C-alpha cells in the first residue's frame, strides 16, 4: 500500500537524523548521494558532535532532544544512528509521532525489545527498516546474482568469513567494553549475509573465544548453520587474525552448488565455476568521492540501502531488511550466544510467534 498520494510521493522526502557519531557521518554523506530524500534536521545529545556534524554537512536545524526535533520539524522519516541502548525508546517515540523509521544495527539487545518495536510499527501501519547494510555491498550482491542466475545449481555448502586484526576500537571505543562483542556487532552482518545467500537457518552451533586480553567480549566466533533449504554453512568471524595483507572490511565467501562453485576472494576477486565454464571478475566497490579506503565497501553500501529506503517509501514496498526481517537475523545472534554458552546446537526463536 502506498503511503502518500502520487503528488506527495514524488517530492523529496525530509529526514531527521538522530545520533551524530562515528558512523552517522557516512549516513549523512549517503543522504547527499541518494535521490529523492535529504536530511533537514539533526539531533545529538552531545552538543559537540551536533556542532561538528552540522557544520561539516551544512545542516542548520539542530536539536539535542529527539522528541523536540520530531515535534518542531515537518519530517517524513527519521534515521536513528545511535548505539543499541537507545534504539527502543527512540523507535517507539518515532512510532508515537507516526514517523517511518530506519534504525541502525544491532536493532536491539534482546528479542523482546526488537519484537516490541516491530509490533509498534505494525500497529501504526508504517515502514520500519533496520540499517543492515552489509548485504547491500556490491561484491555480496554479485555473489547473490550468480546464485539467482542458477549458474552453480542448488547450493549445498557455504562459508561466509570475516577475519581481520583491524583496530576497530579506536573509532568505536564502546566495542571494547561490552560483555558481547563480535557476534553482536560484526557477526550480525555476516549471519545476515548467510541468510541473504542461502536462506533462513533452522539451527546454529557456535563456539566463541576471546584472544585480545584488553577487551571484555568475545573477538572470535565460529558458527555452523543448518539452512532450511538444506544447505549447511560456516559463518566465521575474528578480530584476532593477523594476515599478510589486512582484508578489513572484506567478507570472503565460498559457495558450493550442485553445478559449480563461487569464490569471493580477498581484493574483491570473484571466481565462478559453473554451467558456463570458469569466469573471473573484479567486483571491487567504487570509491565514492567522500569515501576512504578501506571503508569504501561499507560506505557504498550505505548509499545503496538508503536509496532502497527511499524507493520503498515511494512505492509502498516493504524494505528488504525490515524490522520483521531483521528479527530472524537477531534470533540467530541470540541462538549463537546461547549455543556458545551451552556448547549445544540451538534453534533460533520465532520472535513474533
Binding site for ligand NAD (CB under 6 A): 18-24, 43-46, 49, 66, 81-84, 86, 90, 104-105, 131, 133, 172, 185, 298
Geometric angle at alpha carbon 187, from 182 and 190, rounded to 5°? 155
Residue 86 interacting entry, from ligand NAD, ligand 89V, none, C-beta within 5 to 8 Å by type: ligand NAD
Judged by CB under 6 A, the residue of 83, 86, 172, 222 near ligand 89V is 172
Q: Is residue 185 part of the contact set for ligand 89V (CB under 6 A)?
A: yes
Q: Is residue 284 part of the contact set for ligand 89V (CB under 6 A)?
A: no
For residue 325, give the nearest of 346, 308, 345 by alpha carbon. 308
The residue count of the chain comes to 353
Q: Are 152 and 207 in contact (CB under 8 A)?
A: no
Q: Which is nearer to ligand NAD, 24 or 59 (CB)?
A: 24
Q: Are 318 and 127 in contact (CB under 8 A)?
A: yes
Residue 229 interacting entry, from ligand 89V, ligand NAD, none, C-beta within 5 to 8 Å by type: none
- From the list 70-78, 185-193, 264-272, 344-352, the region that binds ligand 89V by CB under 6 A is 185-193
For 25-49, letters b (16+ CB in 10 Å) and e give bbbbbbbebbeebebbbbbbeeeeb
Distance CA 159, CA 236 (A): 8
Residue 249 interacting entry, from ligand NAD, ligand 89V, none, C-beta within 5 to 8 Å by type: ligand 89V
Secondary structure (3-state) at 65: coil
Q: Are 128 and 91 in contact (CB under 8 A)?
A: yes
Cell of 137: 555491498
Q: What is the largest CA-CA distance in the chain?
A: 60
Q: Is residue 191 part of the contact set for ligand 89V (CB under 6 A)?
A: no
Q: Are 158 and 231 in contact (CB under 8 A)?
A: yes
- From the list 72-80, 183-191, 270-278, 311-319, the region that binds ligand 89V by CB under 6 A is 183-191
Residue 186 interacting entry, from ligand NAD, ligand 89V, none, C-beta within 5 to 8 Å by type: ligand 89V
Residue 43 interacting entry, from ligand 89V, ligand NAD, none, C-beta within 5 to 8 Å by type: ligand NAD
Q: Is residue 218 part of the contact set for ligand 89V (CB under 6 A)?
A: no
Closest approach, Cβ 329 to ligand NAD, in A, equals: 12
- Chain residues binding ligand 89V by CB under 6 A are 168, 172, 185-186, 189, 249
Amino acid at each position: 500500500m502506498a503511503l502518500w498520494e502520487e503528488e506527495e510521493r514524488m517530492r523529496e522526502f525530509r529526514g531527521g537524523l538522530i545520533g551524530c557519531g562515528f558512523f552517522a557521518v557516512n549516513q549523512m554523506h549517503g543522504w547527499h548521494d541518494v535521490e529523492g530524500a535529504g536530511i533537514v534536521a539533526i539531533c545529538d545529545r552531545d552538543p559537540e558532535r551536533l556542532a561538528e556534524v552540522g557544520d561539516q554537512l551544512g545542516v542548520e536545524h539542530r536539536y539535542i532532544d529527539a522528541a523536540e526535533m520530531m515535534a518542531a520539524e515537518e519530517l517524513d522519516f527519521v534515521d536513528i544512528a545511535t548505539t543499541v541502548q537507545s534504539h527502543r525508546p527512540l523507535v517507539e517515540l518515532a512510532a508515537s509521532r507516526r514517523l517511518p523509521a530506519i534504525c541502525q544495527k544491532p536493532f536491539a539487545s534482546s528479542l523482546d525489545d526488537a519484537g516490541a518495536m516491530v509490533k509498534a510499527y505494525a500497529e501504526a501501519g508504517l515502514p520500519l527498516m533496520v540499517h543492515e547494510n552489509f548485504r547491500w555491498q556490491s561484491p555480496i550482491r554479485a555473489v547473490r546474482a550468480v546464485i539467482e542466475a542458477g549458474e552453480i545449481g542448488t547450493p549445498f555448502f557455504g562459508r561466509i568469513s570475516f577475519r581481520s586484526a583491524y583496530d576497530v576500537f579506536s573509532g568505536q571505543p564502546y566495542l571494547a567494553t561490552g560483555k558481547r562483542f563480535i557476534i553482536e556487532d560484526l557477526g550480525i552482518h555476516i549471519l545476515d549475509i548467510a541468510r541473504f545467500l542461502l536462506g533462513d537457518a533452522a539451527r546454529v552451533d557456535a563456539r566463541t573465544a576471546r584472544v585480545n586480553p584488553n577487551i571484555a567480549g568475545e573477538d572470535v566466533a565460529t558458527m555452523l548453520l543448518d539452512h532450511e533449504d538444506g544447505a549447511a554453512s560456516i559463518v566465521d568471524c575474528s578480530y584476532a587474525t593477523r594476515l599478510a595483507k589486512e582484508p578489513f572490511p572484506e567478507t570472503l565467501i565460498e559457495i558450493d552448488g550442485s553445478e559449480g562453485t563461487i569464490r569471493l576472494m580477498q581484493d574483491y576477486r570473484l571466481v565462478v565455476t559453473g554451467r558456463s565454464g570458469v569466469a573471473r571478475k573484479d567486483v571491487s566497490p567504487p570509491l565514492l568521492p567522500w569515501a576512504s579506503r578501506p571503508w569504501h565497501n561499507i560506505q557504498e553500501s550505505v548509499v545503496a540501502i538508503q536509496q532502497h529506503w527511499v524507493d520503498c517509501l515511494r512505492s509502498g514496498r516493504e524494505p528488504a531488511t525490515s524490522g520483521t526481517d531483521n528479527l530472524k537475523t537477531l534470533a540467530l545472534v541470540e541462538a549463537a550466544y546461547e549455543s556458545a554458552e551451552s556448547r549445544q546446537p540451538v534453534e533460533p526463536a520465532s520472535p513474533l510467534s
